[in-house]
Amino acid sequence: MVSRLNPYISFGETARAALEFYRDVFGGTLTVNTFGDFGDKEAEGADLVMHGMLETPGGFTLMAADTPPGMEYTPGSSISVSLSGDDAAELRGYWEKLISGGTVAVPLEKQMWGDEFGMCLDRFGISWMVNISAESA
């Protein structure tokens, strides 16, 4: 297996809903294991996500988990997810789905470096950056 770099996002108690949302945005296969799957099914937080992984047809991998009971959670403070490339239609489609129910911080528009770029917080408080590369002259 080739080494890969992908975001791993922590949530309070919404990892399953967030991963299902991202599956709706990007497509793909979602695998979810709860704390109860690997421990006491009756314990506090047993139904929370211990590890979730979304693998998309486009080659993206997102991993996520809920913060276990007793641990501190600070939403969206330590991660931004970047989507970049030259397939403008695909990236604009992702953008439109990500901003649904979220907040646009920087509109997706042409920037001084020539690319289209935008930033948003999705409805789960995760920061996203979308960069559409300018066509080469």
- Mind listing the pLDDT tens digit for each residue in 56-109? 999 999 999 998 888 888 876 667 898 989 999 999 999 999 999 999 999 999
Q: Is 73 part of a structural domain of the chain?
A: no
91 neighbors 85 (Cβ within 8 angstroms): yes
Strand partners, 81: 128
Q: Is 137 part of a structural domain of the chain?
A: no
30 plus 59 within the same structural domain:
yes
92 plus 58 within the same structural domain:
no
Q: Is 3 part of a structural domain of the chain?
A: no
Q: Structural domain of residue 115, as residue ranges?
A: 80-132
Q: Which two tokens stand for residue 45?
A: 């937080």
21-41 pLDDT per residue, tens: 999 999 999 999 999 998 888
114-136 pLDDT per residue, tens: 999 999 999 998 989 899 998 76
Q: Which two tokens stand for residue 59?
A: 């080659």
Grade residue 43 by pLDDT with cuts at 50, 70 and 90.
confident
pTM of the model as a whole = 0.78
Q: Tell me how many domains the chain contains.
A: 2
Task: Output the domain CATH number for residue 126.
Answer: 3.10.180.10
